[in-house]
Amino acid sequence: MYAFKKLMLVAALALLVPQIAFSAPTTPKVFGWMEEGLLMPEKTSIKVELDTSAENGSLAVGNITPFDKNGEQWVRFNVQTPKALTGTMVDIPFERKVLRTEKGKGIIGGGHRQIVKMSLCIGNQLYYEDMVLKSQGKKDYTVVLGRSTLRHLGVVDVTLVNTVKPECITAGKPAS
C-alpha cells in the first residue's frame, strides 16, 4: 500500500511539473524609446519611435500618389533614409494597397489619410502593422509605433535608445 501511494505521488508531481514550468511568467523584452528597424521586404533601414502616447502607428512619407491597381485603391510614396556611405538622404519608393482611409487630426485640419499594411523588422521579430501615412516632418524618426503595437512588442524604457539591431532572417512577405 505504501508503494502505491508513493507511485501516485510521483505520477501527480510528474503531471504538475510541466504545468508549473509553462505557467512561469516570462520577463518582457525591454526596448528604448527609439530603435532601428527595417521596412520589409525592401529592407529599408529606418528610425522607429516607440510612443506610448500614440494609439496607432504612422509612417512619415513624401510624394503620396493614389492610383488604381486591378480595381483596388493603392498608393505610391517615398520614404527618406540616409545613404549608407555618405549619409545623404535618398528617397526609396514604395507601393502598398490602401486598407482604408481615416480623417486626419491636427491644428490646421486633417483631410483624409491612407492606412496601409507594412512589414517591420525590429530585433529578430517581423511585425505586420497598419500604418497611417503622414507627411514627412522635422523629426528624426520615420516610423512611430503606438500602443496597439507596443502591446505585443514589449516594454519601453525612455532612458534607452537602440537596444536591438534588426536581424530578421526571413525576407518578409509583401505587405499588400
- What local confidence, expressed as pLDDT, does residue 174 receive? 43
Mean pLDDT of 77-88: 79
The answer as to whether 153 is a domain residue is: yes
d(CA 39, CA 72): 23
Q: For the domain that residue 64 is a member of, what is the CATH number?
A: 2.40.70.10
Range of the domain at 124: 28-161
Question: In total, how many domains does the chain have?
Answer: 1
- What local confidence, expressed as pLDDT, does residue 94 receive? 92
The answer as to whether 2 is a domain residue is: no
User: Mean pLDDT of all residues in the chain?
Assistant: 79
Strands 57-69 and 125-135, bridge-based pairing: parallel
More confident of the two residues 141 and 43: 43
Q: Which among 31, 64, 52, 35 is positioned nearest to 142, based on CA atoms?
A: 35
The answer as to whether 137 is a domain residue is: yes
The answer as to whether 115 is a domain residue is: yes
The answer as to whether 56 is a domain residue is: yes
The answer as to whether 9 is a domain residue is: no
Tell whether the torsion through CA atoms of 43, 48, 52 and 58 is positive or negative. Answer: negative
Quick check: pTM over 0.85? Answer: no
Has residue 25 got a pLDDT over 80? no
- What local confidence, expressed as pLDDT, does residue 170 receive? 56
The answer as to whether 8 is a domain residue is: no
The answer as to whether 176 is a domain residue is: no
pLDDT in tens, 132-164: 998 876 666 788 888 888 888 888 888 999 998
